[in-house]
Structure 1
Amino acid sequence: MRKGRFLLTLFTLLLSFVLIACSNNETDGIAEQSGSKKQDVFVFARGGDAVSLDPSEVTDSESENVSQSILETLVAFTEGKTTVEPLLATEWNISDDGLTYTFTLREGVKFHDGTDFNAEAVVYNFDRWMNAKDQERFYMYGSVFGGFKGDENHVLQSVEAVDEYMVQFTFTNPKPTFLKDLALTPFSISSPAAIEKYGEEYGDHPVGTGPFTFEEWRRNDRVTLSKNENYWLDGYPKVNQVIFRTIPENSARLNALLSGEVDMIDGLDPRNIPQIEESEDFKILSRPPLNIGYLGLNVTREPLNNKLVRQALNHAVDKEAMIEAFFAGQGTPAKNPIPPTVDGYNDEIEAYPYNPEKAKTLLAEAGFEDGFEMELWAMPVPRPYMPDGQKVAEFLQSSFAEIGVKAEIVTYEWATYLEKTKKGEADSFLLGWTGTNGDADDFINTLWHGDNIGSMNSTYYSNEELNKILTEARTISDQEKRKELYKHAQEIMHEDAPIIPLAHSTPILAARADITGFDPHPTGRVITTKLSFE
């Protein structure tokens, strides 16, 4: 009898050990969600994986949101706004002619590999970008600075170390957006030693000065970061570990939040907002709208190379119905390629009204009275500007069918999707943009200037007059004149219709109620420096 009891007890103990081990494996280091122990691990779930952790070679927010915890820029956006404040630079001076910017750098800062952050490190990073042999790799640099060193329109003449902690930027023309440009994640400062060590593989081994150090990247699963014990900002970060989980399905992410598996999610289906709001354990975080979700129309592919066809497709979409069905009131119909919150927004433009009969008339005028066939690419991941790309694609497919246009829905894995659209392989495609600096240039120039075809301009649209306006607007300091130029740019795009502007959304995140210190910034950033649990 005693032997039986002993074996039963032993079995129970072994089973407990197994269950504990399994539980530890499943959470994989995620801190206990209940009890009195203060949580020191923050888990953020998103719909797609990063493409690279070297932010200078990407434009997707999934990559940038991880990088922002590892690397830092010279200046940063103020909480909740697109004005700038010091970060790795403590102060700056601008010459009277607007051509020279001199920055004083923060002293005593170390990269995660123990090397010094100083003026030479800043110069190294900018030299790497402006003198790049593989210019396509650093297309954000080329887009922001008018190309690369030696190019006719390249405006950054030099970057020089004045002394150990002072760096000077000299321009050939005034650059009114420069300070905001420096706050963009692609211009984060990496360790020169790490870049030399890892070479082409640096995107898998990022080394910066940020609050967290890179530990591990399991593709399509998670990126794990650990607290930088030597971070320059006293008292921060507040948590010991940050984990970015990839959970493609919106419903699965929500379930992970509700079960305590993760602490915050983006891509929440708007219809689930009431469920979160009614719970004492969770809360909704709303970002101010600074985005555009659109259907891009590749103007090089027949019959989308016909302006009348593109205008017809604009008339075929009932945006109000789309937003009501798939945004649950968390969006407004778009009529321009920039959101109303951006200076220079042209509210005098009249939106293409939903008018299927007008659409059919335009198609007939273009020689397609019987319609045509095309591909409609749907994003495989939810984005802040579009909670469910697949459902929006199906709605557009149905809308186009009403005017005789048969659209076949196509999709790919996220990185492949982005690469193929850049190469112009799509007829039409769902994409969008969350403003990175709050300036009209960031939207219109980045996405639709002819110089950016093959990189950010996936519509392959190039209008000579528009290109001239956009180039002028980024080389003058008169803000009122810049506004007028951008208003005219929107008129040109409205007439040419290289896109169907769909919606400006209010991006929603859902989180545990006890999370503090998180800024739901309009640029969509995920900044973890001051985040903690009450």
Structure 2
Amino acid sequence: MAATSPARLHMTALARATSPVASLALAGAVLLTGGCTVANSGHGGYDPDTLRLVISQEPPTLEPCESSLTSTGIVVRSNITEPLIEREPDTGDLQPLLSTGWRQDSPTEWTFDIRSGVTFSNGAPFTAADAAFAIDRAVNSDLQCNVDGYVFGDEKLKLATPNDNTLSITTEKPDPILPLRISFVEIVPRGTSMTEKVREPIGTGPYAIADWEYGQKLVLARNDRYWGAKPTFGHAEYQWRSEGSVRAAMITNDEADIATSLGPEDGAGDRGVPFQNNETTALRMQAGEAPLNDIRVRQAVNYAVNRTGIVKALFRGLGDPASQLIPKGVVGYNDRLALWPHDADKAKALVAEAKADGVPVDRQIRLIGRTAQFPKIAETIEVLQSEFTEIGLNVKIEMMDTAGQLQYQLRPFPQNTGPYLLMIQHGNQAGDAAFTMDQYMLSDGPQSAYGTPEFDAKIRAAEALTGQARQDAFATLFAEEPQQIMQFAYIAHMKGIIGLAPRIHYTPNSATGDEMRLAEMTKAGNGSDLSDRS
């Protein structure tokens, strides 16, 4: 059971908000401080009470049940919406938020105590009934929420609310990490559509949407109804620029306070702060399509990838070559798993062998990347194409925006696409391999393109375990996947760079790439040293 501590309350109070608002246009429904951002000639032409952020892409939506998508979660989680429980990125500990405590009553039954005195940004009171509604909407509905597939899979939950401060959840089978899963569900009020996703949500967090000029900027305003500590900044203004060098220039030219997803070559200088994130890049191979349906061709793809060279030359050492889809620190990480060796001659021999057996290795394979997915994505894709061409494969590059690429990343995949290699970037925010396995390695996982019933059964067996047995079982599966399935060519465990203006104090952590808590950003004061925040 988790208890509430006053110190923790203060820290988490610096954090969250969300929900559906077909009607945030109902002015007066949300209490927001101040007006829109105003010019102030005494502060370089900007309002010092506005936190200015530049991100790599406009969020496709702020639908809370899509918050496990990086482009959505980086804005909505902890800022517009809140979950019942939150996970501390550095320790993995679960902390109380909208739930003050929880306990397991039986192998399939859990009880959550719901915090009193909380209201949504539109003034509606938050109760256990809202929590049950939000979980039912995200997990049990037909909305096809990303959080449902990513976190819960096929699980259906039974929800009951004996009173306003008690939520009971019953699972279909024992689930030893249900509280961790629940930490991914952002709470929205009753009345939110159960049949359509919302673009602009209402929540209980420290900020609410004030203005969204689609294609231009997004402004959040401090929610004066927030139950926790008042965040420092009255407003937060997001803009988006796809080029990392442009985002870095906005930091150095005092046009932004925070710039995300920078590369070492982008020119942020001493305003660029490196940090270890939880993202892993990999190529997913559409193994149901020839020639990728032949394991020898998939092995050749793996031999062709020069992971060490990519990390050294393109990422400038800001990353580590990857042998698996999760980084160190996540339950299930296998520290004995060696890198797949770079061996172009071996790759050529495998392609030639497959061709001799009638595999159509000359068939064109699409190599799909997402614009601004990570620094140097375009160059990385070009290097990979060159490596695959060298071993005898016919590969064509296709760069797409977020919406286009997600069609190929998330089920249901487009029909009649032909074979393709898809660059993915997976961040295991939860710290447990179950979330990676369910999403990417089950044969019918929401972001999986291939698998077998036998490997599925091994995943399910590992997920039922706890403690060291759980760790060992998942580590074994990461060693077996390249031998039995080989759906991926792993590239690198990534490190990030965030740009920070001198007036801002913020310490990035492993979750910063997926969830950037505005309430943790404060004014640094005169003479602050960026090195204090690295």
- The answer, yes or no, to whether TM exceeds 0.5 is yes
Structure 2 residues not aligned, in runs of 5+: 1-35, 525-534
Q: 2:66, 2:73 within 8 Å by CA — same for their partners in 1?
A: no
1:5 aligns with: none
Q: Match for 1:82: what amino acid?
A: G
Q: Indicate how the Cα distance of structure 1 residues 111 and 180 shifts in structure 2: closer, same or farther if over 3 A, else same.
A: same
Q: What is the CA distance between 1:38 and its match in structure 2?
A: 8.1
Alignment match of 1:530 (pick from 513, 520, 534): 520
**Deviation per residue, 1:394-450 (Å, 9 max, x gap):** 010111122122311102221111113331546111111111201111222211211
Q: Pick the structure with more helix per residue.
A: 1
Matched residue, 2:247: 253
Partner of 1:24: none
- In structure 2, C-alpha distance between the alignment counterparts of 1:269 and 1:217, rounded to whole Å: 28
* 1:230 to 2:225 alignment: yes
Do residues 191 (structure 1) and 186 (structure 2) align? no
Q: For residues 91-112 of structure 1, give each alpha carbon's deviation from its aligned partner in whole angstroms, at most 9, with x where no partner exists.
A: 12222x4422211111111101
**TM superposition outliers: structure 1 runs of 4+ over 6 Å:** 30-33, 35-38
Q: Counterparts of 1:420-459 in structure 2 under 5 Å?
A: 420-422=408-410, 423=413, 425=417, 427-452=420-445, 455-457=446-448
Matches within 5 A, 1:206-221: 206-221=201-216
Deviation of 1:391 after TM superposition, in Å, equals 0.8
8 Å contact 1:338–1:444 — kept in the other structure? no
- The answer for the alignment partner of 2:27 in structure 1 is none
**Tell me, what secondary structure is at the counterpart of 1:271?**
coil
CA RMSD of aligned residues (A): 2.4
What is the 5 A alignment of 1:41-440? 41-57=50-66, 59-68=68-77, 69-78=79-88, 80-95=90-105, 97-134=106-143, 137-147=144-154, 154=155, 156=157, 158-184=158-184, 187-195=185-193, 200=196, 203-234=198-229, 236-272=230-266, 276-277=269-270, 282-286=271-275, 288-367=276-355, 372=362, 373-383=364-374, 387-422=375-410, 423=413, 425=417, 427-440=420-433
Query: 1:177–1:257: structure 2 CA closer, same or farther, 3 Å change rule?
Result: same
Rate the CA distance shift 1:192–1:518 in 2: closer, same or farther, 3 A.
farther
Between 511-520 and 484-493, the greater mean CA deviation after superposition: 511-520
TM-score, length-scaled by structure 1: 0.84
Query: Any conservation in 2 of the 1:291–1:504 contact (CA below 8 Å)?
Result: yes
Deviation string for 1:501-532 (max 9, x for gaps)? 00001122111123124543436310112322
| Structure 1: segments with no counterpart, 5+ residues | 1-26, 148-153
Q: 1:188 to 1:298 in 2, by over 3 A?
A: same
**Do the aligned residues in 2 keep the contact of 1:517 with 1:531 (CA within 8 Å)?**
yes
SS at match of 2:226: coil
Residue 501 of structure 1: SS of its match in structure 2?
strand
User: For each residue in 1:155-207, what CA deviation from the matched residue of structure 2 results, as whole angstroms up to 9, or x when unmatched?
Assistant: 53x111121111111223221222222222xx1001223447xx63x522200
Q: Measure, in 2, the Cα distance between the counterparts of 1:31 and 1:227.
A: 19
Q: Check whether the contact 1:518–1:527 (CA below 8 A) recurs between aligned residues.
A: no
Identical-residue share of aligned pairs (%): 24
2:123, 2:225 within 8 Å by CA — same for their partners in 1?
Answer: no
Q: In 1, are the aligned partners of 2:37 and 2:235 still within 8 Å (CA)?
A: no
Cα pair 1:190 1:208 within 8 Å, conserved: yes
Equivalent residue for 1:468? 457
The separation in 2 between residues aligned to 1:60 and 1:499, in whole angstroms, is 20
TM-aligned CA deviation for residue 142 of structure 1:
4.1
- Cα separation, 1, equivalents of 2:291 and 2:113: 54
1:333 positional shift: 0.5
Deviation at 1:382, TM superposition (A): 3.1
* SS in structure 1 of the partner of residue 397 of structure 2: strand
Aligned AA (1:527): R
The alpha-carbon distance between structure 1 residues 220 and 444, as it changes in their structure 2 partners (threshold 3 A), is farther
Q: Which amino acid aligns with 1:45?
A: V
Q: Distance in 1 between matches of 2:39 and 2:426?
A: 32
8 A Cα contact 2:109 2:169, kept in partner: yes
Give the C-alpha shift of residue 138 in structure 1: 1.9
Residues 227-269 of structure 1 deviation map (CA, whole Å, 9 limit, x = unaligned): 00121113x1110011221111111111111111111111211
Q: Which residue of 2 aligns with 1:18?
A: none
- Matched residue, 1:4: none
Query: For the residues of structure 1 that align with 2:323 and 2:506, how far apart are their CA atoms?
Result: 35
Aligned to 2:11: none
Distance in 2 separating the partners of 1:252 and 1:56: 31
In the alignment, residue 372 of structure 2 is paired with which amino acid? V
Q: 3-state SS of the aligned residue for 1:294?
A: strand
Residue type of the alignment partner of 1:512: A
Q: Is the 8 A contact 1:283 1:512 kept in 2?
A: no
2:134 maps to amino acid = N
Change (3 A) 1:31 1:392: farther
Report if the CA contact (8 A) 1:177-1:474 is conserved. Answer: no
Q: Calculate the TM-score normalised by the size of structure 2.
A: 0.84
* Superposed CA offset, 1:23-79 (max 9, x none): xxxx96477683699821112211112122112145421111111210000011225
